[in-house]
Amino acid sequence: MNLAERVVSLREMQSAQVPEELAPMASAVRAMVSKSLGALIFRNVEMATQVLESDDVVDQYRESHFRTTPPAHDQGAHSR
């Protein structure tokens, strides 16, 4: 969901260029969207499971390549 929100905001920027290092992640996300639609249309549980597994891979890619900071409203939930 965060990725989709960022894509929408970047789309509004005329000069925004997609960094080359995001190409593998973008490809994985495109495949996820395609499989998600297929799973929904054909009610295919196996495809839906593959999407869930792909989501974990995309999350790992994001975490390994980007520093993530929880939104301000979530910070209290993570502190002890």
Residue ranges per domain, the chain? 22-64
pLDDT higher than threshold 90 for residue 45: yes
pLDDT of residue 31: 92
pLDDT classification of 47: cutoffs 50, 70, 90: very high
Q: Is residue 69 predicted with pLDDT exceeding 70?
A: no
Task: Report pTM.
Answer: 0.60
Long-range contacts of 24-30 (CB under 8 A, 24+ apart): 24/61, 25/58, 25/61, 25/62, 25/65, 28/54, 28/57, 28/58, 28/61, 29/3, 29/58
